[in-house]
Amino acid sequence: MRRVDVDDLDDLAIGAAVLGTGGGGDPTIGKLIAKEAIRQHGPVTVLDASEVDDDALVVPSAMMGAPTVMLEKIPSGDEIVTAFEALQSYLGREITATTSAEAGGLNSTMPFTVAARLGIPLVDADMMGRAFPELQMCTPGLAGVKATPMAIADEKGNAAIIETVSNLWTERLARAATIEMGCSAMIALYAMSGRQVKDTMIHGTLALCQEIGRAIREARAAHADPIAPTLAVLAGHRLFDGKVVDVERRTQTGFARGEARIEGVGDDAGATLVLQFQNEHLVALRDGRAVAMAPDLIMVVESDTGAPITTEELRYGFRVTVLGAPCDPRWRSPEGLALVGPRYFGYDLDFVPVEELAAG
């Protein structure tokens, strides 16, 4: 158990945006909202998953929608508490703790707002080990945990409870509601016992985010390579260095979809890397050949600072470095690849681990 205060969130937000693989929402927005909640209500208690009672009731809280929309439709922080309280009322039982749905800039920090404002602890875990675009793409789902009942709320005060026959139907119906709510909403779902949290979630995500963010900050202060710490912590690979020369991006069916084209510099001069994304980066193609693909992590950072860049922030002229890192081993199982592998997203590719592609 540890206490997280305002000053701890800067490193955490940076590391979360790295793990978010381009998605998970703007890290600055989530960080500022969480900081304000902690200033008003005090530091948040963060529990290791092993410290949670087996019969506890733990509910992840997150944003759903297109990250591009949130740049103009900034949440107040009330929406996520409304969703959380609506689910608690529906369940008729006090929720013991919250946790992160995914590792992402905003979705790793917004649960601090819930924890601070409601005075409950936050479990150091998440359901993806990175960010994925759809609700059913969670390790608890792989283990048979139901996403519903789920609560969803918007900035207008609208709230709804959704019950579905499968987690895929949760995604479909909640996505439709999110579109009607303006393409972004706040959600609470995958209510779990403490035992299920221990057995099905990915542990230590927040600590890992802080470690990555701190390592980047310290490398900058020492005038060292700011990208090397991320590669070391995640056992990652430097895939490409270049300049962004084109970004095609659109908000469609509740997602930020598109691709970015990067022309190589230095050792990569003369080559072109294309990134294709649906909120998160899903495939990286160097001159038409895949060099990384989901569910492995594809991360874009500033070449000079090592700072992560989300898909909605990518712009012409940015000097970037593209990194790849292995995902949680559960995603490489046949069941995991059926849920989050390249073929699920419509790519005619069989999954090859990033470390094999980098070696080849």
> Torsions phi, psi of 88, nearest 5?
-60, -45
Specify the residue for token string 């430097």: 238
Bridge partners (DSSP) listed for residue 122: 46, 98
Q: What is the pLDDT of residue 28?
A: 87
- Dihedral, 50, 52, 57, 61 alpha carbons, nearest 10: -70
Residue 98 CA to residue 122 CA, distance in Å, equals: 5
Beta-bridge mates of residue 248 = 259
Backbone angles phi, psi at 46, to 5 degrees: -110, 125
pLDDT for residue 283: 98
Cis check: omega of the bond before 140, within 30 degrees of 0: no
Per-residue tokens: 155: 């900035």
CB 287 within 8 A of CB 240: no
Q: Extract the tokens encoding 94.
A: 């006090």
Give the pLDDT score at 293: 98
Residue type, 74: I
Nearest to 70 by CA among 320, 299, 313: 313
What pLDDT was estimated at residue 89?
Answer: 96
Task: Please state whether beta strands 150-153 and 159-162 pair in parallel, antiparallel, or not at all (unpaired).
Answer: antiparallel
- Nearest 5°: the CA angle 122, 133, 240 is 100
> What does the longest C-alpha to C-alpha distance in the chain come to?
61
For residue 130, give the nearest of 44, 205, 226, 224 by alpha carbon.
205
Residue 29: what pLDDT? 87
Q: Which residue has the tokens 């706040």?
A: 186
Residue (of 273, 270, 293, 277) closest to 285 by Cα position: 273
pLDDT reported for residue 14: 95
- What is the C-alpha to C-alpha distance for residues 22 and 98, in angstroms, rounded to an integer? 24
SS3 218: helix
pLDDT of residue 347: 96
β-pair partners for 284: 275, 292
Phi, psi of 269 (to 5 degrees): -60, 140
Element (H, E) at 233: helix 228-234
Q: Tens-of-pLDDT digits for all 360 residues of the chain?
A: 899 999 999 999 999 999 999 987 788 888 999 999 999 999 999 999 999 999 999 999 999 987 777 767 788 889 999 999 999 999 999 999 999 999 987 899 999 999 999 999 999 999 999 999 999 999 999 999 999 999 999 999 999 999 999 999 999 999 999 999 998 999 999 999 999 999 999 999 999 999 999 999 999 999 999 999 999 999 999 999 999 999 998 887 778 889 999 999 999 999 999 999 998 999 999 999 999 999 999 999 999 999 999 998 999 999 999 999 999 999 999 999 999 999 999 999 999 999 999 997
Q: Which residues contact 359 (CB under 8 A, 6 or more apart)?
A: none
Paired with 241 in beta bridges are: 321
Q: What is the pLDDT of residue 139?
A: 98
